[in-house]
Amino acid sequence: MTETSTPAKNAATTRSNAIVYAPLTVDAQRGGSLFDRTAVYLSTSRYIPQRLVEVSILLAEVYLLNVPEWILGEKNLGRPAVEKRIESSIAASKIAIADTVSKGGRRKVAVLTGGANGLGYMTAMAVAEAGYHLIIGDRATEMGIRAVEAIKAKTKNMLVEFLYLDLGSFKDVREFAGEIARRTDTVDLLINNAGVMDLPKFRPTAEGHDSQFGINHLGHFYLTVLLLPLVKKAPKARVVMTASSAHYGTSKINYPGITSAKAYDRINNYCGSKLATVMFVRALARSLAKTNPNITVNCLHPGACYTNLFKSSWLLYILTTIGFQYFLRSPTRGARTLAYLSLSEEVEGISGEYWFDERIRQRNPASNDVGNQEELVRYSYAAVGMPEDTLSVFHSDVLE
């Protein structure tokens, strides 16, 4: 599923004074095992109640992230700090795109969900700075319009647009995808970032699905399938999805709780929605590796970040009002891996992986089961009202 034959890890070239780093191997990108072993143990332990797994992983993450990397066993890549490497990737992309456009070529196009604030906004800033024609989809219209104006002012990139998108409505997803298709025939970068978390009560989407699963997975599943024909037209393309360490918090998806308020479980449904993201990435990457190896698909955990997501949970809201937020990451820090997977040359050719802190991490073992992945794909196709096609999954040219 991933390419491992890449140049030497320290190889780099320059592009008009911007350093372009060579792709790294999968093995070089793997993170230290301490966090992986801790998260996987917590997720599979018979001695920890299932409802405590997510909070246990959160606390372990906060603790582990506040100790030096060498204690975690993170590898020294022999390269500058990741922030500097991302800056170089942004500069190199901006130069390359400007050069292509000056010669009459096509400007790269990026689509990002949930870019009005938080992690999405900071990621949008990086993508716009990299020279992309950026289209942001969000349901917070006023905030989204202000975000676009701020991004334009900061980056001087006038090709940044806002379109209304409610991932909790399949009708809105179709309209958004159709509007994208009217604006461009190619999408080089698709970033599925929007989401909701820990909703106390069953809150149905327009089609009656739990909002956590409906927005976090089904809405993005549908959008991805609709835009894939445009993604496939790019010489090289990337699909990046925001997952979470919460995917370790369950071993299976609570399918009855997706449409039933009685079977709804606020924690399990959220964890299940993020497990679905990781499984979707695995299934999509495996499918595209056979037909479109030029497209890579990856997901990431941004870390425990202090964003608007915490306002949905009274417990998390109380914790963040009494000082717990100081142990959490800022949106700028949380968006770093999003920007890295979207723009860095170092991840070229790597697909189907789960990342955290710019390192490949061990997934919840439940996400590796192909049978589970196929069950999720079948359920998702049925939920969005599309014909089931698990053998040639994701191959239909929906917008053509």
Q: Write down the catalytic residue from 222, 248, 270, 379.
A: 270
Q: How far apart are CA 268 and CA 198, in angstroms?
A: 9
The pairing of strands 18-21 and 12-15 is: antiparallel
Q: Is 270 a known active-site residue?
A: yes
Q: How far apart are CA 31 and CA 244, in angstroms?
A: 16
Among 196, 199, 201, 202, residue whose Cα is nearest residue 259: 202
Structure-token pair, residue 223: 């959008």
Contact 5, 27 (CB under 8 A): no
Buried b (16+ CB within 10 A) or exposed e, 37-75: ebbbebbeeeeeeeeebbebbbebbeebbeeeeeebebe
Q: How many CB atoms lie within 10 A of CB 308?
A: 14
Q: Which residues, including other chains, have CB under 8 Å from residue 58's CB and lie 6 or more apart?
A: 245, 304
Q: Which residues are catalytic?
A: 270
